[in-house]
Structure formats: C-alpha cells, structure tokens
Homo-oligomer: A and B are copies of this chain.
Amino acid sequence: MQLGVIGLGRMGQIVVDRVLDAGHDVVAFDLDEEAVATAVDAGATPAESVVDLAEQLGTEKRIWLMVPAGGAVDAALDDLEPHMDADDIVVDGGNSYFQDSVRRAESTEVAYLDCGTSGGPAGAELGFSLMIGGPEWAYEELKPVFDAVATGPAGHDRMGPAGSGHYVKMVHNGVEYALMQAYGEGFELLANGRYDLDLEAVANTWNNGAVIRSWLLELCEEAFREEGNELGDVADHVAGGSTGTWTVQEALEQEVPTPLIYQALAERFGSRSDRFSRRLANRLRYGFGRHEVAREE
C-alpha cells in the first residue's frame, strides 16, 4: 500500500519508519525540509507540498496526518479538500478534540478516520495502541497500515463512528493523569515515610509480579534510576492538561463523577501558581483565632 504522511515530527517519523518497515510505500511531507530529508533517508518519497503529496498518491489516496491538534489539522484538510473524493481516506493520528473530529468528518466526503495514538516515542520499537473512529470500510481498508503502526493486529481497533477514536483516547489520557498521580502519591509517602528506601528498587520489585505493575511503573523505575532517589532538580511543576480538561468537561456533561481524574488535573493547575485559597485560609486563621499569619519574605 502507498501511504501519504503529512507531519514529520517525532511521532510522524515513527509512523513513516514502521510503515516502510512493513513493506509499504510512503510519500512524506512536512513544512520543515530537514524532516522530509530524514523521512527520505528512511526510504520515503518526498513531497513538496500537501497538494504535491495528494497528486503523487493518485486515486484512492490514503493519507495519515500527524500534525499538532487544532488549526494545523484544519489547514492540512483545507489544502487537501479540492484534491480528494469519497474514495479517499484521511487518518488524523494526532490528539484532536473528539468534537473537532466529528465536525471534520461531517464536513468532507472523504472517509475520515480519527485515530487516538498512545504509546509515545517508545512506540518506535513496540508500536502504538490505536483507537480508531470512522467508517468501517475505511478502517478495514487501512488495516495493513494500522498493523504496521500499532503493536500488531491486537494494537488497533475500531471503536465506533466518527469521533469515537479520539473520544476513547481522551478518556485514556484522563486515566493516565490519575495513574501518574496515584503512583506519585505512593512514592511521595515512601519518600517522606519512616524508612530510608531505595525507590528504584521498590519500583523494580513491584514491576516483577505485584498487582500494580504497569508500563507507567516501569517509567517510574527509569525516572529514579536516571534522576536519583530524590528526583534531583526535577521541579514541582506539571505542564499540559488539555486532554485531562476535556475528559473532566465531558464527565460533567455526562454527570459522571471522576474525582481522581479531576484531582490529578487540579494538581497540575496547583503546581503552577500560588493558591489564593490557601492564602485566604492562612489569613482567616488569624481572623478567628489570632494565629500568626505567615508572610512572604
């Protein structure tokens, strides 16, 4: 099969490599010429523009978008639109908001597949987990490509109609926030607790047979190995949060309580600034009890 890949950042290159390794052909485009050169070195055919890529693919185009969520997806689709028809398939493998994916699928005659992609750069070797939404025929048609990009046939599945792939990925990320915070609480307690523990050794022991073993726990083990038992200069500052925010917003709309996911997200927000609520509590303790007010120096 011949696949066009638009967007050759870290994740896009992995898609190119894995698809080529599986014996398919790739036409690759990115605004960054060096990124195109890297893909060419790996065996891809270069395209000079989105339109050039579309033209090289001929009829029954199969195109994988791996660009940042948001305007970049719409821009690529706008460029592609005049050159595509109902026989063509576009996969959005990025982290798009599911309602954007529904909108995009509804506003094109192209078969549009929204594909949540999990596994991170580690997927270069192992392959990814792909959660896919959209028309069944398009999913079936692209199975060889999904087999290549995913860990294998078990690493991808069609979740349902348009948007369902990014919907399931959104929830995946919400759970991910909570899992990270849960492990973090455990290690925070161990780090501040009654024993002088080797946290890498704890993680390693847990990863060998314990109920809580997981890939994230393997990454904890790696973090302690690389940063040290007290995590060195790693700051109390957690960036990101958009997919977690979407998850909580959706849970609010569905009236589903998700207190752990919420709290994991709130920890991120809280890590980024002073908490006015706590400053007020500090002051209120003076108000009713004349307790000394801690002041910034």
Query: Which residues of A does B touch, CB under 8 Å?
Result: 10, 118-123, 126-131, 133, 150-152, 154-157, 159-161, 163-164, 167-168, 171-172, 174-197, 201-202, 204-217, 219-220, 222-223, 227, 231, 233-241, 245, 247-252, 254-272, 274-285, 287-296
Q: Which residue of B lies closest to A132 (CB)?
A: B205
CB atoms of B223 and A184 under 8 A apart: no
Which residues of chain B come closer than 8 Å to A175, judged between CB atoms? 182-183, 185-186, 212
CB atoms of A288 and B254 under 8 A apart: no
Q: How far is the CB of A162 from chain B (nearest CB, A)?
A: 10
Taking a contact as CB atoms closer than 8 A, the residue among B157, B178, B235, B280 that contacts A205 in the complex is B157
CB atoms of B205 and A190 under 8 A apart: no
CB atoms of A206 and B247 under 8 A apart: no
Q: How far is the CB of A5 from chain B (nearest CB, A)?
A: 19
Task: Please indicate which of the listed interface residues A164, A255, A268 has the most CB atoms of chain B within 10 Å of its own CB.
Answer: A255
CB atoms of B196 and A160 under 8 A apart: yes
Q: Which residue of B lies closest to A155 (CB)?
A: B208
A interface secondary structure, majority = helix
CB atoms of A287 and B185 under 8 A apart: no
CB atoms of B208 and A216 under 8 A apart: no
* Contact (A276, B188) CB under 8 Å given A193-B250, A195-B159: yes
**Copies per assembly:** 4
User: Please, how many angstroms separate the alpha-carbon atoms of A282 and B205 in the complex?
Assistant: 23
Q: How far is the CB of A194 from chain B (nearest CB, A)?
A: 7
A-B pairs with beta carbons under 8 Å apart, 7 shown = A120-B287, A121-B288, A194-B254, A220-B287, A234-B294, A235-B295, A262-B266
User: Please, how many angstroms separate the alpha-carbon atoms of A207 and B163 in the complex?
Assistant: 21
Q: Which residue of B lies closest to A168 (CB)?
A: B202
CB atoms of A209 and B123 under 8 A apart: yes
